[in-house]
Structure 1
Amino acid sequence: MDNPSKIIEGGVEFSLGKFDGKNVLYDFDKILIYLNAKGKLLFGKHFKIYDEDTEIIRQLCYYFIKDKTNCEQAGIDPEKGVLLSGPVGCGKTSLMKLLKYLVPLQRPYMLAPCRNIVFGFNHLGYKIIEDYGDSSPICFDDLGVEPMGRHYGKDCNVMGEVLLSRYELYLQTKSKIKTHATTNLNAEELEERYGNRVRSRMRELFNLIAFDKNTNDKRK
């Protein structure tokens, strides 16, 4: 791939900005055109990027393209992961699925629904916590609404344990391996769900990027 400012999707070439031989000088309007087109390919013709969401998308783009100046202005630390919060149906999961395509040279993260991780724990036990605490980049989808885990009669706050493992990994790898998450919950609700210790680790692990709580449900 000679020019990282260009991406080909469905036989169409999209420009994300200009490449000066070393760096891509990104153009946000061009990025939006690409994301709209890629979103339609991924999720179907009904997909669209809403004007009301462009500010959130702009922050996410700064993060993923590692635009240090704009990240600093927005209070985003490129070394941490992203915790994308917002009401049900505002498009968090779609955006996290979509944005990794913006930077094809970065190691992609997989999306893992938290309830599936808990179901896995119920069958396989603590091996699941080890598996998800490992060295793959990951985005935990729908954090905080998963059920409590139960294996051989013992209850376990599975995602709380997984987050503690990911925090240890973050410290060991100096943030080379990213952990992301989406959630419908606010900070107080997350603390109630996982306790103060996990919540304080989450502050170190994630940049919080939040939709307005009145954002429309796009699935209606």
Structure 2
Amino acid sequence: MVNPSKITEGGVEYSLGKFDGSYVHYDFKKILIYLNAKGKLLFGKQFKIYKEDKTILLKLISYFLRDKDNCKKYGLDIEKGILLSGPVGCGKTSLMKLLRHLAPRQRPYEMIPCRNVTFSFNHLGYKTIEDYGNTKFFCFDDLGVEPPGRFYGKDLNVMGEVLLSRYELYLETRKRLKTHATTNLNAEELEERYGNRVRSRMRELFNLIAFEKSSRDKRE
């Protein structure tokens, strides 16, 4: 029988808690040890988990492990995706790349830079909206700072259209579709960038988890 409380990385077995045969009792400290080790494998020896990110990590870990009690405590809806916001360099992209490894039995999501979506639209046109407005699970990285979309002289707010398409699918699939995103922008800036209609759909698509504005740039 597979023990869901264990994950093996690089020949080393990590425990995430205790499995009683039907339920895993997760241990946050053990999970952090695993994430620190996995982060070093993914991003290099300089990677580390920062103490000031503990609250953010608790929320993200609770969400990705589908811990209903903690999610309720933090006001997170397991059916929605995650919108992780915070200043440049605070570690949003790294965390979203890392945390998809925490629950390997769940359907994985693909990390897609928003600028790539726009570049694809500028080259291929409206097929891009179909390609990303589908039933795959995505995390759109750096939402809101992508360049404008233009195809044959016609301008389009590409990511706004992609999010509207994914919202429609989210409803059609009875909320089984997952869309995640990272952004440097706050709610007002997102509304200014995409308009009120997209912003209201984003509220229904995403749980907002935000770093403090004062979070340091970890790339320095």
1:196 corresponds to which residue?
Answer: 196
**Does the alignment pair 1:51 with 2:51?**
yes
Tell me the secondary structure at the aligned position of residue 104 of structure 1: coil
1:101 corresponds to which residue?
Answer: 101
1:209 corresponds to which residue?
Answer: 209
**Does the alignment pair 1:151 with 2:151?**
yes
Tell me, in whole angstroms, the C-alpha distance in 2 between the residues paired with 1:22 and 1:125: 49
Letter in 2 for 1:143: L
2:15 corresponds to which residue?
Answer: 15
Tell me, in whole angstroms, the C-alpha distance in 1 between the residues paired with 2:117 and 2:7: 33
The range that moved more, 195-204 or 173-182, is 173-182
User: Which whole-Å deviations, capped at 9, do the CAs of 1:74-96 have from their partners, x for residues lacking one?
Assistant: 01000100000000000000000
2:26 corresponds to which residue?
Answer: 26
Superposed counterparts of 1:1-220, under 5 Å: 2-220=2-220
Tell me the secondary structure at the aligned position of residue 141 of structure 2: strand
Tell me, in whole angstroms, the C-alpha distance in 1 between the residues paired with 2:173 and 2:158: 22
Letter in 2 for 1:14: Y
Tell me the secondary structure at the aligned position of residue 155 of structure 1: strand
Tell me, in whole angstroms, the C-alpha distance in 2 between the residues paired with 1:123 and 1:31: 42
Runs of 4+ with deviation above 4 angstroms: none
Tell me, in whole angstroms, the C-alpha distance in 2 between the residues paired with 1:94 and 1:169: 27
Tell me the secondary structure at the aligned position of residue 102 of structure 1: coil
Tell me, in whole angstroms, the C-alpha distance in 1 between the residues paired with 2:174 and 2:34: 32
Aligned length, in residue pairs: 220
CA RMSD of aligned residues (A): 0.6
Tell me the secondary structure at the aligned position of residue 116 of structure 2: helix
User: Which whole-Å deviations, capped at 9, do the CAs of 1:131-170 have from their partners, x for residues lacking one?
Assistant: 1000101000000000110000000000000000010011
Tell me the secondary structure at the aligned position of residue 8 of structure 2: strand
Tell me, in whole angstroms, the C-alpha distance in 1 between the residues paired with 2:132 and 2:72: 30
Tell me, in whole angstroms, the C-alpha distance in 2 between the residues paired with 1:160 and 1:215: 27
Tell me the secondary structure at the aligned position of residue 101 of structure 1: coil
1:174 Cα deviation after fit: 1.5
Letter in 1 for 2:203: R
Tell me, in whole angstroms, the C-alpha distance in 2 between the residues paired with 1:7 and 1:69: 23
Letter in 2 for 1:51: K
Tell me the secondary structure at the aligned position of residue 166 of structure 2: helix
User: Which whole-Å deviations, capped at 9, do the CAs of 1:34-54 have from their partners, x for residues lacking one?
Assistant: 000000000000000000001
Long gaps (5+) in structure 1:
none
Tell me, in whole angstroms, the C-alpha distance in 2 between the residues paired with 1:175 and 1:100: 19
The range that moved more, 51-60 or 16-25, is 16-25
1:206 Cα deviation after fit: 0.1
User: Which whole-Å deviations, capped at 9, do the CAs of 1:53-87 have from their partners, x for residues lacking one?
Assistant: 01100100000001111101101000100000000
1:177 Cα deviation after fit: 1.7
Tell me, in whole angstroms, the C-alpha distance in 2 between the residues paired with 1:37 and 1:216: 22
Tell me, in whole angstroms, the C-alpha distance in 1 between the residues paired with 2:182 and 2:50: 19
